Chains A and B, each alone.
Chain A
Amino acid sequence: MEVINFLIFLALSGVIILSALAVLFSPKIVYSVIGAVVCFLGVAGIFLQLNADFVGISQIVIYGVGISILFIFAIMLTSQEEEKNLWIALKPRLFVALLSVGLLFTLIVFCITGGGKKFDNAGVFNIVDVEKSHIEFLKKEGTTNLIGQRLFTDYVLPFEILSLLLLAGIVGAGVLAGKDDELDREEK
């Protein structure tokens, strides 16, 4: 059973990393968006494997449907003919970026495994496995009830501020990308 879990994790992480590399190295921008959508769906699979059903389903809806549609519309409205020289930066910048990001990744691995000493599946956190009773409870009830309880008692202030932020985002995006009446009148 644990081997199946590990194989599912390997398959999902392979999908995620390959599609992220497709985002980075695709010459056409539409291929990058398709790679990003596959990456979002892979991340949703990781969330479902981590017993987070509400977050996983909302990841599919918000990222896989909403944000990909936004990107496709933006590509449609800003399409240029020559896309070949928009692929990736010139050689020095790409190599410096890869080198520095490689250093960052080494630093993160160093911090997680405690200096390379604790290279097992718990790292410096000393957490090995989830309790069976917790997993049974989550399989029976799901996380929606827990999220709802905490969200509307302890975290109600960030929730209200988030609704104001969404309103401001909607109005602002509509104003920024909308038609410019003064410009049209000047042209006439």
Chain B
Amino acid sequence: MEFLTLGLVHYLLLAAVLFCIGLVCVVASKHLIRMLLGVELMLNAVNINLVAFSNYKMYIDGEIFAMFIMAIAVCEVAVGLAILIAIFKNTGSINADEQDSLKG
């Protein structure tokens, strides 16, 4: 029963569950802000993966990659929310199903 000692696999499984929950949040939600929250959950799952490998292989590059991902996530959230506010100003709704002006 070696599964009961903490190892690398446990952190990878946790990151996989968090990634899958974030993915469902993006795909199956009608509110645009909830979609952006799902994207943030997916990025955090990737960060858990990177820092777990950085710990168990005893090198620091995984944590540096995680820092870069965090900084880029901040930019992406800022620009994404600005676009969302512009969409709300133009159409008046944040329902994802009502943004169909490009529909054929």
Contacts and interface: CB of A to CB of B under 8 A. Distances in A.
Judged by DSSP, the binding face of A is helix
Interface of B: 2-14, 16-25, 27-31, 33-34, 36-38, 40-41, 44, 47-48, 51-52, 54-58, 60-61, 63-64, 66-68, 70-79, 81-86, 88-89, 93-95
A6 to B, nearest CB: 5
A interface, size bucket: 35 or more
Interface of A: 2, 5-6, 9, 13, 16-17, 20-21, 23-24, 29, 32-33, 36, 39-40, 43, 46-47, 50-52, 54-55, 58-59, 62-63, 66-67, 70-71, 73-75, 77-78, 80, 83, 85-89, 93-94, 97-98, 101-102, 104-105, 108-109, 112-113, 119-123, 125, 127-131, 134, 143, 146-147, 150-151, 155, 158, 162, 165-166, 168-170, 172-174, 176-177, 180
A71 to B, nearest CB: 7
A17 B18 contact: yes
B31 A86 contact: yes
A151 to B, nearest CB: 6
Given A46-B48, A93-B27, A176-B85, A67 B74 contact: yes
Contacts of B93: 80
Contacts of A143: 60, 63
B interface secondary structure, majority: helix
A74 to B, nearest CB: 4
Given A33-B37, A134-B58, A54 B63 contact: yes
B14 to A, nearest CB: 5
Nearest to A105: B20
